[in-house]
A = this chain, B = another copy of it.
């Protein structure tokens, strides 16, 4: 990102004015559009606010921008005295579209993280750099690479990767499948997106867990689906609820995250798995099994996927490398009947013409390498260590103020706060204190729940992050008492 040159003889405010003029004339900020605030720009450029105030004054005097009290600074529509021309009303276009924007809390979190990279990040649901097999992948990339083809890939995904996944799914997940039943996607997110767009129609009813990651995804609403809740307790969702929802609303599909559920961390009980499959088969109802976390099981054998005991072909199984290796690989997969794979592969061609061959080749090499097993062992050990650090910090900093069930796998800890606080206010106060988390309401739960991802922050940040969070909570509850 551009920064003013402090060695230059040109005053800082002039450099900034020139820089802004360039961005305006190149079309980044078209006539009529809102500029970032003086405060924000000063922060981004690392200068005093007064310097930016001076730059804005300069641009105002040239007629390039206009400020009105209370409504910020905008690019002038009558730029450089030329006859007025009409720029499309871009902000109105940005507000349109059938595809809904992300949840406000999620956008707020992302914005906070972009603006303040030093925030301790309990929010991003991914592995920190040191938990990813970056060294292993770099080693693989630095082995002699040969690329035999760089054209459009097979619509189902790179064949050697699908072949490697057949072995991986058999050995690690107990799933018997064939390469023609696999669709490579860019991750669970794209798998879910394809399912909601291509197998369901607006108005269709579906069941999702409550709370669940699905709630955080406006894609379900964008697809016009009606969402019905399957409450999740410490044993997971109750399959009997599915029968009730089916009778009442004719649900057409069920979305389940049975192993170390996001956000609650629960594992669906063995009896309930069998019951779930029986009900699915009785009703001819497809179940989407989202299974990204299983191999993080800290101590016990990872729970088996539903797909491995699915005798009637009711399960669409979704997996990915994002939570067990590296989200930046952007490699996930779906195991599904052939007709479904064909339909989704065809649609995906239209949306993005498939994935790049290069990361698929790297992923296939990783799967065939001797690195997988040791990486997973190290990951599990480190996650357990971080989970315990988080628990220790919670007990120390928030004694009696949080309740939780200790997760046995996954990247998250789901906590209920004892004091009653407003989700949004707590988030803002936390950001002020230097830490972010995801408010539980993002996952559809009532106010007062919090998801802490302990896989993302550095080990040394966990305790201080919780201390900052405790400070924020204290500030809010104290204020209320005053």
Binding site for B on A (CB under 8 A): 1-2, 22-23, 25-31, 33, 85-91, 93-94, 96-99, 101-102, 107, 110, 114, 124, 126-129, 132, 134, 137-138, 141-142, 144-155, 176-181, 185-187, 189-190, 193, 197-202, 204, 217-219, 222-224, 280-286, 307, 310-315, 322, 326-331, 335, 337-340, 342-343, 346-347, 349-359, 362
Q: Can you sample 13 A-B contacts with CB below 8 Å?
A: A22-B176, A27-B181, A28-B178, A86-B283, A96-B198, A101-B343, A102-B347, A129-B149, A151-B327, A187-B352, A222-B350, A327-B353, A352-B352
Contact between chains at A337 and B33 (CB < 8 Å): yes
The distance from the CB of A191 to the nearest CB of chain B, in whole angstroms, is: 10
The distance from the CB of A353 to the nearest CB of chain B, in whole angstroms, is: 5
Contact between chains at A350 and B147 (CB < 8 Å): no
Contact between chains at B147 and A134 (CB < 8 Å): yes
Contact between chains at B149 and A350 (CB < 8 Å): no
Q: Which of A88, A124, A285 has the most CB of B within 10 A?
A: A88
Count the copies: 2
**Closest chain B residue, CB of each to CB of A128:** B151
Q: Given the known A-B contacts A124-B152, A198-B97, A343-B101, are A330 and B313 also in contact in the complex, defined by CB atoms under 8 Å?
A: no
Q: Given the known A-B contacts A33-B337, A178-B22, A352-B189, are A197 and B98 also in contact in the complex, defined by CB atoms under 8 Å?
A: yes
**Closest chain B residue, CB of each to CB of A170:** B26
The distance from the CB of A299 to the nearest CB of chain B, in whole angstroms, is: 26
Could you tell me the distance between the alpha carbons of A100 and B132 in the complex, rounded to whole angstroms? Answer: 38
Q: Which of A141, A176, A217, A340 has the most CB of B within 10 A?
A: A141
Find chain B residues with CB under 8 A from A197 CB.
97-99
Find chain B residues with CB under 8 A from A340 CB.
90, 93-94
Could you tell me the distance between the alpha carbons of A134 and B137 in the complex, rounded to whole angstroms? Answer: 21
Q: Given the known A-B contacts A94-B343, A186-B353, A338-B33, are A327 and B193 also in contact in the complex, defined by CB atoms under 8 Å?
A: no
When the two chains form the complex, which single residue of B86, B199, B218, B338 contacts A96, counting CB atoms closer than 8 Å?
B199
Could you tell me the distance between the alpha carbons of A314 and B85 in the complex, rounded to whole angstroms? Answer: 10
**Closest chain B residue, CB of each to CB of A24:** B313
Q: Which of A2, A91, A98, A342 has the most CB of B within 10 A?
A: A98
Find chain B residues with CB under 8 A from A193 CB.
350-352
The distance from the CB of A173 to the nearest CB of chain B, in whole angstroms, is: 13
Could you tell me the distance between the alpha carbons of A270 and B22 in the complex, rounded to whole angstroms? Answer: 26
The distance from the CB of A152 to the nearest CB of chain B, in whole angstroms, is: 5
Could you tell me the distance between the alpha carbons of A14 and B261 in the complex, rounded to whole angstroms? Answer: 43
Contact between chains at B96 and A178 (CB < 8 Å): no
Find chain B residues with CB under 8 A from A338 CB.
28-29, 33
Could you tell me the distance between the alpha carbons of A27 and B166 in the complex, rounded to whole angstroms? Answer: 13
Find chain B residues with CB under 8 A from A129 CB.
148-151
Find chain B residues with CB under 8 A from A307 CB.
27
When the two chains form the complex, which single residue of B1, B137, B313 contacts A27, counting CB atoms closer than 8 Å?
B313
Find chain B residues with CB under 8 A from A97 CB.
197-201, 343, 347
Q: Which of A150, A187, A314 has the most CB of B within 10 A?
A: A150
Contact between chains at A127 and B141 (CB < 8 Å): no
Q: Given the known A-B contacts A151-B127, A189-B353, A217-B350, are A96 and B200 also in contact in the complex, defined by CB atoms under 8 Å?
A: yes
When the two chains form the complex, which single residue of B124, B181, B310, B358 contacts A151, counting CB atoms closer than 8 Å?
B124
Find chain B residues with CB under 8 A from A114 CB.
154
The distance from the CB of A379 to the nearest CB of chain B, in whole angstroms, is: 13
| 9 cross-chain pairs, A with B, having the tightest CB-CB distances, nearest first | A30-B313, A150-B328, A150-B326, A86-B284, A97-B198, A356-B359, A330-B356, A94-B343, A88-B286
Could you tell me the distance between the alpha carbons of A29 and B342 in the complex, rounded to whole angstroms? Answer: 12
Contact between chains at A94 and B342 (CB < 8 Å): yes
Contact between chains at A339 and B99 (CB < 8 Å): no
Contact between chains at A181 and B85 (CB < 8 Å): no
Contact between chains at B355 and A180 (CB < 8 Å): no
Find chain B residues with CB under 8 A from A285 CB.
88
Q: Given the known A-B contacts A145-B138, A189-B351, A337-B29, are A201 and B98 also in contact in the complex, defined by CB atoms under 8 Å?
A: yes
Contact between chains at B199 and A351 (CB < 8 Å): no
Contact between chains at A27 and B124 (CB < 8 Å): no
